[in-house]
């Protein structure tokens, strides 16, 4: 990727399981040796929104001395390290741990906030002193949230307080907090002593690089007209109740602040700056647009003479549960430059963009024609943007792609069966050539499994010949392709779920047509992305199994369902994941399905339970009772060695039921 620097944690709580126990250096030793072999220099962090090992606390009087002692031990063990972030985001940590109570020690008072921010600033000063005893020229890289608070006119005073407070840690570290500082009396009245403020001023430790961690939710808007906002956004101060919401999407005229943050920090501190966390938890094209805004802003600032040292793709391997600030263990994952859900890190479109930036200084992708959802600019006309070409636009899958492309501001051209006969190779080739598309989705399909038993020619023509025609046209024009296969390529003899390495052996005409498609597509376009998936369900198609079950149970009717095992797959999540994979340039066969292997009848019972209907009306049905002609595998459950991409089945089921509530 061209990486030269990496923010890398040698976290206190990971090395010392208890404050008084012996350090265990085995893991960091191996990591540091590997980084050296790659010639990547780390910027080492020692505390990342944490309190250290058990027995320590951000509010303890001797907390700074303890972490400084640890810093000295780390520096002595790794003397080649030349850049350090002893404490990550001291101001943000003080807010979330001391003011809002989200993190340990879970306090909710201004006094706790003041104590935590002072302790962390003293810890940084003392840690850098200990480090510089080993490495006198060691650099201090400061990181913290860099948002700005805006407000209605009535709340200007509150916004002013929060904007002063946002820079408090930096001001303390730079020795700027004296009796003339706007927050001097705020600090003193909430527990800060004159002596410790004087000490910080006398031992000023200004950063060598000021890192701005700027997110789409960093800028805030305060509004006393709180009825217009979600209830969870409403809070206030001692005198006024108000909503605190992200400025993006709420404040008219708001613009993304990467460039203004860099300029503001440089103007105030005359210190080199960096964007030290660049990430948005969103779809892949929005992640690319966010990275592009950050890089372009850094380049503009640099061109104007501001010393911008870096733009940091954060986190390199993605993040778990940060959509809840790690207050819930839901295994909610947001990919970064790599996606680790398959066990082995897989580079994403973001990672490829970072590689291009590192090696050429820029990156391009045809989805960058539009600005992100956070921008106030209108979308460009569809005719000006490279589209995604969608074959089979009227089917369940194709219609879902149309809907999600619209939601995601991705230009598309939807092709219906009446327009293009996919079994006509010349017509397909002309359509693909004329589209100007960056990618193609083949959502066509003969989907009636039982009818296929008596109509094999048409089933094969659409599912196999048509898919191969589309793949050949895409290969000819160098266009990415995602096409669909099925769990019915397997015979059901395996006890466990099938993964991508298992050998197909279809039992029916439909399954044979899909397997022929897989082989034929791979033959003409090895780089095609072929998605095997399970039984669909979703909120946008009135002809699906769960909706039929719910309606019949509501009428008090008995429901017969198969005992064969499947992995129900939620269509909106399936489409989003495949769009991301297509943007990532992924290829080959990939199983993308739900995470729950259960029978059709148990699927129905889950629906009954969540919808508060009578599950006793559900019966296991024989093939004849279900009207089935084609043989089905007793187990067609899917799993993936390449990465489980969809949310939990329970979450998808809740979302589906909410759509029909």
φ, ψ (nearest 5 deg) of residue 577: -65, -40
pTM, entire model: 0.93
Cα separation, 229 vs 211, whole angstroms? 32
Higher pLDDT among residues 384 and 528, named by residue: 528
Both tokens of 347, joined, read 């580079």
pLDDT digits (tens, 9 = 90+) for 602-656: 999 999 999 999 999 999 999 999 999 999 999 999 999 999 999 999 999 999 9
φ, ψ (nearest 5 deg) of residue 657: -65, -35
Which residues on adjacent β-strands are paired with residue 145?
A: 213
pLDDT digits (tens, 9 = 90+) for 96-148: 999 999 999 999 999 999 999 999 999 999 999 999 999 999 999 999 999 99
CB 284 within 8 A of CB 336: no
pLDDT digits (tens, 9 = 90+) for 567-588: 999 999 999 999 999 999 999 9
Q: Is 441 helix (H, G, I), strand (E, B) or coil?
A: strand
Residue extents of the structural domains in the chain: 382-659
pLDDT band of residue 74 (cuts 50, 70, 90) is very high
pLDDT digits (tens, 9 = 90+) for 163-179: 999 999 999 999 999 99
pLDDT digits (tens, 9 = 90+) for 461-472: 999 999 999 999
Q: Is the pLDDT of residue 376 over 80?
A: no
User: What is the domain class of 382-659 according to CATH?
Assistant: alpha beta
Distances from the Cα of 568 to the Cα of 362, 373, 563, 637, angstroms: 41, 31, 13, 9
The pLDDT, as a whole number, for residue 385 is 75
Show Cβ contacts of residue 326 under 8 Å, excluding neighbours closer than 6 positions: 49, 103
Burial class, 110, CB count within 10 angstroms (exposed 0-12 / middle 13-18 / buried 19+): middle
pLDDT digits (tens, 9 = 90+) for 582-607: 999 999 999 999 999 999 999 999 99
Closest C-alpha to 530, from 463, 460, 446, 595: 463
Share of the chain above pLDDT 70, in %: 98
Burial of 524-554, coded b for 16+ CB within 10 Å and e otherwise, reads bbeebbbbbbbbbbbbeeeebbbbebbebbe
Instruction: Indicate the range of 79-93, 361-375, 504-518 predicted with least confidence.
Output: 361-375
Averaged pLDDT, 41-51: 94
Show Cβ contacts of residue 478 under 8 Å, excluding neighbours closer than 6 positions: none
The pLDDT, as a whole number, for residue 381 is 44
Share of the chain above pLDDT 90, in %: 89
Q: What is the mean pLDDT of the chain?
A: 94
pLDDT digits (tens, 9 = 90+) for 273-296: 999 999 999 999 999 999 999 999
The pLDDT, as a whole number, for residue 380 is 46
CB atoms within 10 A of CB 106: 12
Q: Is the pLDDT of residue 383 over 50?
A: no
Averaged pLDDT, 377-388: 62
The pLDDT, as a whole number, for residue 377 is 58
pLDDT digits (tens, 9 = 90+) for 180-191: 999 999 999 999
Averaged pLDDT, 499-525: 98
pLDDT digits (tens, 9 = 90+) for 228-249: 999 999 999 999 999 999 999 9
């Amino acid at each position: 990727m061209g990486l030269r620097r990496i923010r890398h944690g040698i976290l206190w709580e990971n090395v010392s399981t208890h404050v008084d126990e012996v350090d265990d250096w085995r893991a960091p030793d191996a990591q540091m040796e590997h980084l050296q072999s790659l010639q990547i220099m780390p910027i080492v962090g020692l505390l990342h929104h944490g309190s250290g090992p058990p027995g320590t606390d951000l509010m303890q009087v001797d907390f700074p001395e303890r972490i400084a002692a640890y810093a000295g031990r780390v520096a002595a063990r790794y003397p080649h390290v030349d850049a350090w972030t002893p404490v990550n985001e001291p101001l943000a940590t003080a807010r979330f741990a001391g003011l809002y109570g989200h993190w340990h020690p879970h306090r909710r008072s201004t006094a706790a906030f003041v104590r935590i921010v002072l302790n962390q600033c003293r810890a940084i000063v003392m840690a850098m002193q200990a480090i510089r005893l080993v490495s006198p020229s060691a650099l201090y890289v400061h990181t913290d949230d860099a948002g700005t608070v805006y407000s209605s006119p009535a709340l200007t005073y509150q916004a002013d307080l929060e904007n002063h407070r946002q820079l408090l840690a930096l001001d303390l570290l730079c020795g700027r907090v004296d009796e003339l500082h706007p927050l001097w009396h705020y600090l003193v009245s909430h527990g800060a002593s004159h002596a410790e403020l004087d000490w910080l001023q006398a031992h000023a430790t200004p950063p060598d690089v000021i890192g701005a961690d700027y997110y789409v939710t960093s800028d805030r808007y305060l509004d006393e007209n709180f009825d217009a906002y979600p209830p969870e956004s409403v809070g206030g101060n001692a005198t006024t109740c108000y909503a605190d919401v992200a400025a993006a999407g709420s404040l008219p005229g708001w613009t993304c602040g990467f460039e203004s943050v860099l300029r503001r920090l440089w103007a105030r501190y005359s210190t080199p700056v960096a964007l030290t966390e660049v990430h948005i938890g969103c779809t892949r094209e929005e992640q690319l647009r966010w990275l592009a805004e950050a890089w372009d802003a850094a380049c503009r600032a640099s061109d104007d003479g501001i010393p911008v040292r870096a733009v940091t793709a954060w986190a390199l391997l993605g993040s778990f549960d940060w959509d809840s600030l790690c207050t819930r263990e839901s295994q909610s994952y947001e990919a970064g430059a790599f996606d680790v859900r398959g066990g082995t890190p897989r580079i994403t479109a973001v990672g490829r963009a970072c590689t291009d930036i590192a090696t050429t200084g820029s990156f391009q992708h045809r989805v960058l024609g539009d600005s992100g959802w956070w921008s106030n600019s209108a979308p460009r006309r569809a005719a000006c943007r490279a589209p995604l070409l969608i074959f089979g636009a009227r089917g369940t899958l194709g219609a879902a792609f149309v809907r999600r492309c619209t939601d995601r501001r991705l230009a598309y051209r939807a092709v219906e069966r009446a327009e293009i006969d996919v079994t006509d190779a010349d017509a397909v080739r002309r359509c693909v050539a004329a589209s100007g598309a960056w990618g193609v989705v083949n959502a066509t399909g003969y989907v009636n499994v039982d009818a296929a038993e008596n109509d094999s020619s048409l089933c094969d023509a659409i599912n196999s010949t048509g898919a191969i025609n589309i793949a050949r046209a895409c290969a000819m024009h160098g266009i990415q392709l995602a096409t669909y296969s099925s769990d019915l390529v397997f015979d059901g003899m395996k006890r466990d779920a099938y993964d991508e390495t298992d050998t197909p052996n279809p039992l029916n005409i439909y399954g044979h047509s899909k397997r022929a498609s897989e082989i034929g597509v791979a033959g003409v376009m090895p780089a095609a992305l072929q998605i095997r998936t399970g039984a669909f369900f979703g909120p946008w198609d009135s002809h699906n199994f769960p909706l039929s079950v719910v309606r019949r149970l509501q009428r008090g009717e008995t429901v017969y369902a198969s005992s064969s095992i499947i992995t129900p797959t939620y269509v909106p999540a399936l489409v989003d994941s495949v769009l991301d994979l297509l943007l990532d340039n992924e290829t080959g066969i990939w199983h993308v399905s739900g995470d729950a292997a259960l029978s059709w009848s148990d699927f129905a019972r889950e629906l009954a339970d969540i919808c508060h209907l009578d599950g006793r009306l559900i019966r296991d049905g024989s093939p004849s009772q279900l009207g089935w002609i084609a043989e089905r595998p007793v187990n067609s459950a899917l799993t993936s060695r390449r990465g489980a991409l969809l949310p939990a089945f329970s979450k998808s089921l809740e979302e589906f039921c909410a759509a029909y509530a």
